[in-house]
Structure 1
Amino acid sequence: MDTFFKRKHDDKHPDPSTQKTKFLRKYNVDFIKYGFVNGGTEAVPKAQCVDCGLMLSNEALKPSKLQRHLETKHPMLVGKPVDYFKRKESGLQMQKRSVVSLTSNSKCALKASYLVARRVAQTKKAFTIAEELVLPAAVDMCREMIGEAAAKKLLTIPLSNDTVSHRIADMASDIQHQLIERIKSSPFFSLQLDESTDVTNAALLLVFVRYRWDSSLHEDILFCGELPTRTTAQECFRCMDNYFTENGLDWQNCVGVCSDGAASMTGRHHGVIRQILDRAPEAKWTHCFLHRERLAAKKMSPDLHQVMDVSVKTINFIKNNAVNSRCFAKLCEDIEADNVQLLYHSEVRWLSRGLVLNRLFELRNEVFSFLTEKKSHLAHYYADTMFTAKLAYLCDIFSLLNQLNTSLQGRNSNIFFVADKVEAFKRKLALWTKRAQEKRMDMFPLLSDILENSPHVNIMSISVTISPPFFCLFSFFFINLK
């Protein structure tokens, strides 16, 4: 019976013979006499009235239906010549092109707004700079170089303060979404943590991530979270765990964590690292090489520590007083010194000591003249050649440490590359210690110049002084590299 019985609706196996092929009518150029043109495509033509712009379906491509529309909707146009409708067609086409051009210009202006907002964010400028400086400057340049039309076109770009703020927020949200999706698609990732306090006393937790995407390793900043109250291990981990939960990240995929050696990070029972390892058993902790280098270089012999203290006191004496700072700058200008200001010393910026001491050593004669004029008790230190020699040594060794510190940084660095750098520096330290015991100081250029120009300086006492404890501390903090 199924052979002769045709079901009206057979969802599983519809009969092709019962399916009707949709018939498409073709547009005829003679339809213009009814006031209609092709408003669709060549494949699927549609009728569009040149007067009211109404778009009819393909089924309406019949002379009778077109005639009915003309007589009922536009009775005053009945009997008009074909040239009249062709002129209306030209006007309709121009209107379409204007709409397309306006839409295109609007998209270009929107994209330009995002591009300018990205520049503002990259340069860390105030959001108002786009509306107050960037746009007026661009308009002036276009008016002079291209013409008034191009200048007026730039004025359509939205660059208000709120607009730039929203653009940056949109881009930040999109970047975060892309990063989260990349991390989720990666089979593993590693983290690097650092907690610090900024100039506004806000405690910030900065987290970087390394992950695999598109067959290569990538590094990005994951997030920067503010710790509202205390900077304990519980608060730091809660900040991270909340971010992971909100974004659907799995701790099980974490295979490595790098941090400094602070107690809140490395606590045996409740430290941040301990809590991460409890949730990611396969992860390995690495003590940050930069922090280890900082700890190793922090210890000095008493003589060198005194030189460092005197240097800091000298800088504070000149820089903390506005009158002293201006007078010292004037003194340096009068003698045509290359620099006219000293640099502040900061314990937070790990490259600070080398830069500060080099500037102080460069202006040591000007500093001595200024301190003598001010009758400061610090002046006699800079008249002592032994003190100057020790200051020169500190400049040399901290410059070398700065070079090491900088070489350990950078994108896509790994533990093997960094370990080679540190191991090479340890061997240099051993060689320098041996050469210092032999009274050979050519590896320290500033100290070598002082010794050459001051033959009465006791090189043996210098040799003993420049064997600082951090030579040994480097081997202690980097003992597990081999």
Structure 2
Amino acid sequence: MVLEKQAVEKMVVTVRSLEGMLVMAGTDGEATDGGETEVKGCEVEKKVDDDNDDDDGFYGFGNMPKRKYDPTYIKYGFIAIERGGESLPQCVVCMKTLSNESMKPSLLKRHLETNHADKKDQDQTYFQPLGENVKRQRLDKTGQMYQKGAGIVKASYEVALLVAQNMKAHTIAESLVMPAAKILVKHVIGEEAVAKLESVSLSNNTVQRRIEEMSSDIADQVIAGVRASKFGFVIQLDESTDVANCCQLLIYVRFTQNNTVKTELLLSQELSSTTKGKDIFNVLDNFFKQNELDWGKFALCAKVLPPKLLSCLNRVIKIVNFVKTSALILGCSNCSVKISAPTTRLLYHTEVRWLSRGNTTRCLFELRDELLVFFMEKKHDFQKDLEDEEFISRLAYLSDIFGALNHLNLSFQGPNCSVSDFILKLGAFVRKLDLWIKNVERKRYGMFKLLTTLESEPNDQFSQEIVHHLSLLKTELMYYFPDVTCCAYIAHPFSVDPADLPVGTGEQEELTDIQADETAKMKHKE
């Protein structure tokens, strides 16, 4: 009996401790909301509510599931309030807030009958206005004040987004969008609704701030996606000139997210000084460090131009940069040269501009006669280059070969380009290089359109340079892409025997499934 008495005393202490915890957790002082516990003699009785969903008994108190509010609870005079990340019932009569464990019809009804007996026969039409009044007084996310403010802010952001998407001045929101919205609301809804629009801020500074915040949020999402990419990421650099003639460095990134491949703009930054490779690398390296991005494995193709062709290209760059940086642009009022060529503007050359070499050399080749007259008037050393037939021949060849590479690069672009397409196109280009080498060795230059427009054919020395360059280019491509043969079953999956494929790789089984798919057969025939 002594041992039983001690055990009962310990259980009484435990029960009282739990009751104290319920009171401190924000109940309305009714410690029996979760069930009343009484100690009688040597027995402990637990008065449990008669709800079938009551699974939060005395034992396992710390692992109780969170209960959710049901809109039908308004008939008991209760609405929901959020506090500490959980939903709590709040009485619309006395404003008391019960614990989450009390979010049960029987307990809510008990509170109504015990504390507000005069209102226990009222229906939900009586309690709904009281609930709306309580919500208007709240400042949390469930209150009307918060919801109204959130709607106003959301409207401001969406208008700022439209302004940015349509590339309009920030002032258009306040000077045009808001007045137009007021006119529409006035004639369609009424004067009272117009006053509500006054609380939507669309000033110049607000729109600018909204756009900057959305831009920052998008950048954070892209960087987070790059960090979390399971298979790493690849980048592409593009340097362009804006309307103010300032150099802008654009960096695009491709990564995987949610089992899909995404391509996003990673960085857009003005190059304030020069556009050398060192400057671009420093910008990219600083961005990676600031955003804690790891450098991937990037393969930089070596320059395979023979010395004389490389010297010609460097001379072309100097000519173009001299004309552009000196503001001696063809076609200006103080220039006596009349433009008769199809190209009327020279393009800057830079190591990172996409397709820059082909565009630069082609533009200079088409403007060679006009530039020669121009440099003759200025008595500049560049006159000798444009009078040299070998220089012009090399310039024509560079324009042709860079144009072919540009065409190959463009064929790799687009959302529907697959790995098999890449392999097929690259393999075809390698075979073209073999064909071009044989043609040059036989003194046939018809595949180089600009080179064939010249009066004199390339001499033996220049022909050897072309063959040497094409051979180096093929060797470089084969080094980075050693296997340019596409698997036969990719192009012709229904004419290949699965038994001829490697065992244990899953390719045999996958090809068998494809060959048994009638829908796939129909699509393949199309």
SS state of the match for residue 218, structure 1? strand
Letter in 1 for 2:292: Y
Letter in 2 for 1:481: P
Give the aligned partner of residue 381 of structure 1. 385
Structure 1 residue 428, shift from structure 2 partner: 1.4
Give the aligned partner of residue 365 of structure 1. 369
Structure 2 unmatched runs, 5+: 1-31, 38-44, 53-105, 113-118, 136-144, 189-193, 242-246, 270-277, 484-526
Residues 1:356 and 2:360 are matched in the alignment: yes
Q: 1:326 to 1:469 in 2, by over 3 A?
A: closer
Residues 32-77 of structure 1, C-alpha deviations (whole Å, 9 max, x = no match): xxxxxxxxx74844469xxxxx9599xxxxxxxxxxxxxxxxxxxx
Residues 1:443 and 2:447 are matched in the alignment: yes
Residues 1:210 and 2:255 are matched in the alignment: yes
Alignment of 1:32-181 (within 5 A): 42=125, 44-46=127-129, 106=152, 109-116=155-162, 118-119=164-165, 129-131=169-171, 135-136=174-175, 138=177, 158-172=201-215, 174-175=217-218
- Partners of 1:189 and 1:330 in 2: CA distance: 57
Give the aligned partner of residue 190 of structure 1. 232
Give the aligned partner of residue 311 of structure 1. 316
Conserved? CA contact 2:312–2:391, under 8 Å: yes
Structure 1 residue 140, shift from structure 2 partner: 8.6
- Partners of 2:238 and 2:216 in 1: CA distance: 24
Give the aligned partner of residue 48 of structure 2. 13
- Partners of 2:121 and 2:206 in 1: CA distance: 49
SS state of the match for residue 262, structure 2? strand
Structure 1 residue 392, shift from structure 2 partner: 1.5
Structure 1 residue 100, shift from structure 2 partner: 13
Q: 1:481 to 1:409 in 2, by over 3 A?
A: farther
Q: Which has the higher contact order (CA 8 A, sep 6+)?
A: 1
Structure 1 residue 467, shift from structure 2 partner: 2.1
- Partners of 1:470 and 1:408 in 2: CA distance: 21
Q: 1:117 to 1:309 in 2, by over 3 A?
A: same
SS state of the match for residue 158, structure 1? coil
Structure 1 residue 396, shift from structure 2 partner: 0.9
Give the aligned partner of residue 268 of structure 1. none
From 391, 403, 410, the counterpart of 1:406: 410
Letter in 2 for 1:171: M
Q: 1:25 to 1:443 in 2, by over 3 A?
A: farther
- Partners of 1:372 and 1:432 in 2: CA distance: 37
Structure 1 residue 420, shift from structure 2 partner: 4.0
Q: 1:441 to 1:232 in 2, by over 3 A?
A: closer
- Partners of 2:120 and 2:337 in 1: CA distance: 88
Conserved? CA contact 1:342–1:356, under 8 Å: yes
Q: 1:383 to 1:415 in 2, by over 3 A?
A: same
Structure 1 residue 320, shift from structure 2 partner: 3.2
Q: 1:435 to 1:149 in 2, by over 3 A?
A: farther
Give the aligned partner of residue 321 of structure 1. 326
Conserved? CA contact 2:239–2:352, under 8 Å: no
Give the aligned partner of residue 465 of structure 1. 465
Q: 1:466 to 1:259 in 2, by over 3 A?
A: same
The aligned length equals 352
Structure 1 residue 429, shift from structure 2 partner: 1.1
SS state of the match for residue 192, structure 1? strand
Q: 1:172 to 1:26 in 2, by over 3 A?
A: same
Letter in 2 for 1:463: S
From 292, 301, 305, the counterpart of 1:243: 292
Alignment of 1:414-453 (within 5 A): 417-450=421-454
- Partners of 1:386 and 1:167 in 2: CA distance: 58
Conserved? CA contact 2:358–2:403, under 8 Å: yes
Structure 1 residue 222, shift from structure 2 partner: 6.5
Residues 176-199 of structure 1, C-alpha deviations (whole Å, 9 max, x = no match): 66557767987x231336899999
Give the aligned partner of residue 482 of structure 2. 481
- Partners of 1:352 and 1:463 in 2: CA distance: 25
Aligned-pair Cα RMSD in Å:
5.3
- Partners of 1:326 and 1:223 in 2: CA distance: 34
Conserved? CA contact 1:24–1:44, under 8 Å: no
Letter in 2 for 1:216: T
- Partners of 1:193 and 1:471 in 2: CA distance: 28
TM-score w.r.t. length of structure 1: 0.55
Q: 1:326 to 1:401 in 2, by over 3 A?
A: closer
Residues 241-295 of structure 1, C-alpha deviations (whole Å, 9 max, x = no match): 9737xxxxxx9xxxxx7443xxxxxxxxxxxxxxxxxxxxxxxxxx3xxx42xx3
SS state of the match for residue 210, structure 1? strand
- Partners of 2:338 and 2:186 in 1: CA distance: 51
Letter in 1 for 2:305: M
- Partners of 2:155 and 2:392 in 1: CA distance: 62
Conserved? CA contact 2:304–2:469, under 8 Å: yes
Structure 1 residue 408, shift from structure 2 partner: 4.0
SS state of the match for residue 478, structure 1? helix
- Partners of 1:349 and 1:103 in 2: CA distance: 47
Residues 203-233 of structure 1, C-alpha deviations (whole Å, 9 max, x = no match): x9979462241x43334467899xxx99999
Conserved? CA contact 2:159–2:173, under 8 Å: no
Structure 1 residue 399, shift from structure 2 partner: 1.0
Q: 1:197 to 1:102 in 2, by over 3 A?
A: closer
- Partners of 1:175 and 1:344 in 2: CA distance: 32
Structure 1 residue 348, shift from structure 2 partner: 3.2
Conserved? CA contact 2:355–2:406, under 8 Å: yes
Q: 1:316 to 1:464 in 2, by over 3 A?
A: same
SS state of the match for residue 300, structure 1? coil
Structure 1 residue 106, shift from structure 2 partner: 3.2
Structure 1 residue 304, shift from structure 2 partner: 2.3
SS state of the match for residue 428, structure 1? helix
Q: 1:195 to 1:325 in 2, by over 3 A?
A: closer
Letter in 1 for 2:214: M
Structure 1 unmatched runs, 5+: 1-5, 28-40, 49-53, 58-98, 245-250, 252-256, 261-286
Q: 1:13 to 1:306 in 2, by over 3 A?
A: same
Structure 1 residue 14, shift from structure 2 partner: 1.7
Letter in 2 for 1:313: K
- Partners of 1:194 and 1:379 in 2: CA distance: 37
- Partners of 2:213 and 2:422 in 1: CA distance: 37
Structure 1 residue 391, shift from structure 2 partner: 1.7
Conserved? CA contact 1:189–1:210, under 8 Å: yes
Which stretch shows the higher mean deviation, 308-317 or 103-112?
103-112
SS state of the match for residue 307, structure 1? helix
Q: 1:373 to 1:434 in 2, by over 3 A?
A: same
Structure 1 residue 360, shift from structure 2 partner: 0.9
From 371, 396, 401, the counterpart of 1:397: 401
Conserved? CA contact 1:386–1:457, under 8 Å: no
SS state of the match for residue 401, structure 1? helix
